[in-house]
């Protein structure tokens, strides 16, 4: 970028609805609804809601899992309602309960 040329933003800071392709801890992906939070001078942060990819220690209706579950992935891809694609690079996924995950880029 040349000195004095301003950055042309495609999205203003704010919160946007997004459909995430959330990587699982076993190598698959889950499609989840959520949002993307863009704040000046901070890495982007996403939230995913629904049946998040929890790693259960025991299976079945009485399954047991420990929280938080935190893991790193190379990318998390999402599609905004306006059709834009967003990619979080070097993301850390934090699952704090079986219905919600937080992902943020480094």
Question: Mean pLDDT in each 10-residue stretch from start to end of the chain (106 residues)?
Answer: 68 94 89 95 92 81 84 95 94 90 78
pTM of the predicted model, to two decimals? Answer: 0.82
In a domain, 25, yes or no: yes
Question: What range does the domain containing 80 cover?
Answer: 14-105
pLDDT score at 102: 84
What is the C-alpha R_g of the chain? 16
E strands within the chain? 14-23, 29-38, 45-49, 69-80, 85-97, 100-105
- Euclidean distance between CA atoms 6 and 103, whole angstroms: 29
In a domain, 59, yes or no: yes
In a domain, 2, yes or no: no
- Euclidean distance between CA atoms 87 and 103, whole angstroms: 11
In a domain, 9, yes or no: no
In a domain, 6, yes or no: no
Chain-centroid distance, C-alpha 46: 4
In a domain, 4, yes or no: no
Compute the Cα dihedral for 5, 84, 15, 38 and give only its sign.
negative
- Euclidean distance between CA atoms 52 and 67, whole angstroms: 13
pLDDT score at 106: 64
pLDDT score at 39: 93
pLDDT score at 2: 57
In a domain, 5, yes or no: no
In a domain, 7, yes or no: no
Q: In sequence order, which residues have a C-beta less than 8 Å from that of residue 55 and are 6 or more positions away?
A: 25, 26, 65, 69
Structurally, how many domains does the chain consist of? 1
């Amino acid at each position: 970028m040349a000195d004095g040329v301003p950055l042309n933003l495609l999205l203003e800071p704010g919160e946007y609805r997004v459909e995430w392709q959330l990587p699982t801890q076993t190598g698959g992906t889950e499609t989840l609804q959520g949002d993307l939070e863009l704040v000046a001078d901070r890495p982007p942060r996403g939230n995913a809601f629904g049946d998040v990819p929890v790693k259960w220690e025991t299976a079945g209706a009485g399954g047991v899992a420990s929280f938080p579950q935190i893991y790193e992935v190379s990318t998390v891809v999402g599609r905004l309602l306006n059709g834009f694609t967003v990619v979080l690079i070097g993301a850390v996924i934090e699952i704090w309960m079986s219905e919600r995950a937080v992902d943020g880029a480094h």
